[in-house]
Amino acid sequence: MKTTSSRTLRILWSLFLMLAIVGIQDTEAQRRKKKKKKGKTEMAAKPKPKPKKPKKSIATLTKKSKKMDGLFTIYQDTVTGAVKMLITKDQLDKDYIYFSQIADGVTEAGSFRGAYRGSNVFHIKKYFNKIDFYAPNTSFYFDDGNAISKAAKANISDARVASTKVLFADEKKGEYLIDATGLFLSETLTRVKPPRFPGRSPFAFSLGRFDKNKSKIEAIKNYPENTNIKTEYVYSNPSVLNGGSNAVTDGRNVSIKVFHTFMNMPDDGYETRMDDPRVGYFLTQTNDMTSTGTVNYRDLVHRWRLVKKNPNAAMSEPVTPITWWIENTTPVEWRETIKEGVLAWNEAFEKAGFNNAVVVKIQPDDAEWDAGDVRYNVLRWTSSPNPPFGGYGPSFVNPRTGEILGADIMLEYVHFTNRVFADRLYTDAAAYMHLETEEELEIQKLKNKNNQGHMYCSMGHLMHENNMFGTAVLEATGASDLEMETLKKEGMKSLIMHEVGHTLGLNHNMKASQIYTPAQLADANFIKGKALTGSVMDYAGINVTNDRTKQGQYYDMAVGPYDIWAIQFGYQPFKSKGEMTALLNQSTKPELIFGNDADDMRSPGKAIDPRVMTGDLSGDQITYSINRFKLVNDMLKNVKTRFAKKDGTYVDLVRAYYSLNGQAARAGDVISRFIGGVYVDRAMVGQTGGTMPYTPVSLVDQKRAFNALKKYVFAPNAFSAPKEVYNYLAWQRRGYNFFGGPEDPKIHRQVLGYQARVLAHIMHPNTLQRLGDSELYGNKYRLSTFMTDLNNAMFKPDVYGSINSFRQNLQITYVKRLVNMVTGRTARRFSPASQSMALLNLKNIKTWVSNGTGNTATRAHKNHIKTLITNVMKEIK
Ligand SMILES: [Zn+2]
């Protein structure tokens, strides 16, 4: 003990000595330094001419910079790359437009090449020694003639986007120089990193912190009408958990490139056009705050400035046509088809009085301009590792008027190949097993709000799915290469027409696929050269006939009657209000039927009119969908012999199997929407041909739909493929690619997924609520009848014998849904009437499954169900 402590003391003592020595040395060094300094001062005391400090001016502050003239003069420091911006006095307090888009992104962070970030008006204001960038609110309209317009700013928050110190003000010339590096090397002008939504998995990929040091200004292009700055934003996270896909080289440093554009306000003389709910244009929504009407919408449709060269002629070329450029990255073999798709719209413009309204050119290989340049509208091609879309047709507008100022179309190469995304081939049942909680619904609402104004189109995905199905049918029936080529070309033309439609201002028309009967669609001569739908703006199903000798066109080959009419409304120079009203009053014609994304029923529980559906075709969707089931079941019989090719792997067989089944599942979705469906009519009061706004689907059609579901979706033999196929559903091996999970085909989960998504709709609280409510206004398929029919279909066919494994899964899922209606987290979203029926059904099921029949597996299953029901009954009491 003693020894140890004395040793400790010794160590401490030597440490003290060391510190003391260092301390002395330090003091000595300081003393010497001071002395040296003193000596210097003494020397400087001798008279010597003071070097003249150059007078501060814009010229001296930008001496080492390259000057770039344009809308706003930019100086870039040739040493550091920093930028300064010159603002002149006459540029203060007036409207400019700011627009941004992603030059290159990473899809898992929600940004990708060509994604538009929207446009807004901005002002530059001087406040003492500062320059402010300021975005006024453009959502409200005040008539200057009304005194209340003096209160136009009341309770409206404009946005003070940025405030920068003036580096030098030349008041004589009226010029102000500011440091603009921070303005562009930050998320001040546009937010790129998405907000973190509650409930998001902590394991999901996310961007790190904005790294100002690593971020840079990549290019500056300045023109008299616009100033363009291309930036590279770097997001850093030194210890990233999820590094993203292969497209991200290093998850710690992720780059996203952004184009910023400042533009002059376009010249006056553009004529605004107000929206009408019978036609589907993209809108800039504004409210007229000086109006006394019940509704004060003053919504501006998005359209190009198209003015006749010869205003008095019935038909004239426009002063400036809408010019499209095919990007030089476009595969050569597609260029002609793309051109055809774009020019197809001229047929519509001709009806509106314009010749050659749309023009197509090809970007030369040695072009000096970049496709991201806002002055060009470009049809662009990418082949991305994780394509976020198949086609995307954004445009940006003057927020004051709705005038479209620029547009692009983005196309993904993979969608025109046979490559499939395994994860997109079938939807997992799990996704449909739970109902959204109130919190999830709130999050969804927020997401929708954040996405407003961004036009994300899924047409390419659907087209890909359709093409995969069409190809599978053609291959299975031994079609020629030429026929395959025709299918692809038709798909491409139809997709281009759709995306160009968006850039002309049109939104979707998901109701348009109603115009022809299944018989007309199977008449090759009748449909030749036509649109198969009222509008290319629908997401229609592919037209494949069951009788393969009758096959005609697969897709729309021209714009539809609705498209022509909509372009007339948007672009025709009307002589009077009456002329426009007369055109709009034609909306009740069957071929002009219209319903957009807000009305479509693609997701379970969403919207009410079964005609406004995606992936459907013909005016008799139930018959058409039944035909699809029959065709698929027929094709599955030969799938193994047709698709397993000698010396290859089985990947083509896998692709065909899932493509065929996927179409059958979609047909089930289409049929299910008729249960509790209510037809919507957008006609105005007293309009010729108009019906009531709401008319429930007839009892006959609801029953017809129910029987089809019973037979093709829920029956014990629904979705059954020939057994020997399952042994061959093997993906191609690559290195360790099955490390993530076992590779065996998950047949039960796949089939249950198809069934669960139908149940998710017909047992959705909204569907059950509507069945009950619409009994008051014409629905004859009572809620109680429907729920009894469903209960019978789920159990009666097999409850007295052995129940197969597919049915066991379905029955458990169904019973869990019933239980959830009564006691689950979301039970309060169901009406008492539907809860009462759920209880009655559970009671009946309990009696049925108590019969003790069937093999061991069946008896275990029945006992499982009985336990579930007994427990829920206890909980209720
Ligand atoms: Zn679309």
Q: What is the pLDDT of residues 646-674, one digit of tens each?
A: 889 998 899 899 989 999 999 999 999 99
The answer to whether position 114 is within a domain reads yes
Cα(530) to ligand 1 centroid in Å equals: 20
Cα(325) to ligand 1 centroid in Å equals: 20
- Model pLDDT for residues 362-392, shown as the tens digit of each residue: 999 999 888 778 889 999 887 777 776 666 7
Cα(157) to ligand 1 centroid in Å equals: 33
Distance from chain centroid for Cα 817:
30
Closest CA to 502 of 474, 530, 460: 460
The answer to whether position 565 is within a domain reads no
The answer, yes or no, to whether residue 90 has pLDDT greater than 80, is yes
Domain boundary among 218, 249, 265: 265
Cα(497) to ligand 1 centroid in Å equals: 10
Count of beta carbons in the 10 Å neighbourhood of residue 338: 24
CA dist 182 to 58, 241, 376, Å? 19, 29, 28
Cα(326) to ligand 1 centroid in Å equals: 19
DSSP helix/strand/coil, 159: strand
Q: What is the pLDDT of residue 10?
A: 53
The answer to whether position 685 is within a domain reads no
Cα(631) to ligand 1 centroid in Å equals: 28
Domain residue limits at 824: 750-877
Average pLDDT over residues 85-109: 93
Average pLDDT over residues 516-528: 97
The answer to whether position 582 is within a domain reads no
**Banded pLDDT at 461 (limits 50, 70, 90):** confident
The answer, yes or no, to whether residue 143 has pLDDT greater than 70, is yes
CA dist 93 to 182, 588, 828, Å? 22, 47, 54
Pair 217, 244: CB distance under 8 Å: no
The answer, yes or no, to whether residue 709 has pLDDT greater than 50, is yes
Tokens of 528: 């030749």
Q: What is the pLDDT of residue 251?
A: 92
Of 39 and 408, the one with more pLDDT: 408
Cα(507) to ligand 1 centroid in Å equals: 7
Closest CA to 462 of 337, 658, 606, 615: 615
Pair 108, 114: CB distance under 8 Å: no
Q: Using the 8-state DSSP alphabet, how is residue 749 labeled?
A: H
Pair 697, 678: CB distance under 8 Å: yes
The answer to whether position 111 is within a domain reads yes
Whole-angstrom distance, CA of residue 760 vs CA of residue 605: 7
Class of residue 433 by CB neighbours under 10 A (exposed 0-12, middle 13-18, buried 19+): middle
The answer, yes or no, to whether residue 13 has pLDDT greater than 70, is no
Cα(509) to ligand 1 centroid in Å equals: 9
The answer, yes or no, to whether residue 42 has pLDDT greater than 80, is no
Tokens of 684: 């105005």
Q: What is the pLDDT of residue 21?
A: 46
Of 18 and 689, the one with more pLDDT: 689
Q: Using the 8-state DSSP alphabet, how is residue 720 labeled?
A: P
Count of beta carbons in the 10 Å neighbourhood of residue 751: 23
Round the CA-based radius of gyration of the chain to a whole number and report it: 34
Cα(600) to ligand 1 centroid in Å equals: 13
Interacting residues of 850 by C-beta distance below 8 A, sequence separation 6+: 862, 866
Cα(559) to ligand 1 centroid in Å equals: 14
**Banded pLDDT at 347 (limits 50, 70, 90):** very high
Q: Is the pTM of this model over 0.85?
A: yes
Cα(369) to ligand 1 centroid in Å equals: 27
Cα(788) to ligand 1 centroid in Å equals: 39
Per DSSP, helices labelled H in 742-804 are: 747-762, 765-774, 783-795
Range 340-343, long-range pairs (CB < 8 A, 24+ positions)? 340/493, 340/496, 341/492, 341/493, 341/494, 341/495, 341/496, 341/497, 341/500, 342/379, 342/496, 342/500
Q: What is the pLDDT of residue 573?
A: 96
CA-based end-to-end distance of the chain: 75
Q: Using the 8-state DSSP alphabet, how is residue 128 labeled?
A: T
**Banded pLDDT at 712 (limits 50, 70, 90):** very high
Q: Using the 8-state DSSP alphabet, how is residue 685 labeled?
A: T
In degrees rounded to 5, what are phi and psi of residue 161? -75, -45
How many Cα atoms sit within 13 Å of 113 on the Cβ side?
Answer: 21
Sign, CA dihedral 866-872-876-877, equals positive
Overall number of domains in the chain: 2
Cα(508) to ligand 1 centroid in Å equals: 6
**Least confident interval from 363-367, 374-378, 452-456, 628-632:** 452-456
Domain boundary among 218, 244, 265: 265
Cα–Cα–Cα angle for 703, 704, 706, nearest 5°?
60
Whole-angstrom distance, CA of residue 770 vs CA of residue 764: 10
Distance from chain centroid for Cα 620:
29
Of 370 and 786, the one with more pLDDT: 786
Q: What is the pLDDT of residue 597?
A: 87
Residues in the chain: 877
Cα(799) to ligand 1 centroid in Å equals: 46
Q: What torsion do the CA atoms of 629, 632, 637, 642 make, to the nearest 10 degrees?
A: 180
Whole-angstrom distance, CA of residue 290 vs CA of residue 279: 26
Whole-angstrom distance, CA of residue 459 vs CA of residue 466: 10
Pair 316, 354: CB distance under 8 Å: yes
How many Cα atoms sit within 13 Å of 778 on the Cβ side?
Answer: 11
Cα(393) to ligand 1 centroid in Å equals: 7
Q: What is the pLDDT of residue 46?
A: 61
- Model pLDDT for residues 148-195, shown as the tens digit of each residue: 888 888 888 899 899 999 999 999 999 999 999 999 999 999 999 988
Whole-angstrom distance, CA of residue 273 vs CA of residue 279: 12
DSSP helix/strand/coil, 643: helix
Domain boundary among 265, 293, 322: 265
Q: What is the pLDDT of residue 234?
A: 97
**Banded pLDDT at 203 (limits 50, 70, 90):** confident
Interacting residues of 824 by C-beta distance below 8 A, sequence separation 6+: 435
Q: What percent of the chain has pLDDT over 70?
A: 90
Whole-angstrom distance, CA of residue 220 vs CA of residue 741: 48
Q: What is the pLDDT of residue 17?
A: 45
Cα(389) to ligand 1 centroid in Å equals: 10
Q: What is the mean pLDDT of the chain?
A: 89
Tokens of 700: 């006959």
Closest CA to 610 of 543, 520, 699, 701: 701
**Banded pLDDT at 53 (limits 50, 70, 90):** confident
The answer to whether position 656 is within a domain reads no
Cα(202) to ligand 1 centroid in Å equals: 32
> Would you report the helix, strand and coil content of the chain in percent, each value rounded to 5?
40, 15, 45
Cα(192) to ligand 1 centroid in Å equals: 24
The answer to whether position 670 is within a domain reads no
The answer to whether position 97 is within a domain reads yes
Sign, CA dihedral 248-252-257-260, equals positive
Cα(288) to ligand 1 centroid in Å equals: 30
Cα(533) to ligand 1 centroid in Å equals: 15
Average pLDDT over residues 632-655: 89
Pair 780, 677: CB distance under 8 Å: no
Cα(74) to ligand 1 centroid in Å equals: 38
**Least confident interval from 90-104, 409-423, 742-756:** 409-423
Residue recorded with tokens 């076992």: 742
Element (H, E) at 244: none
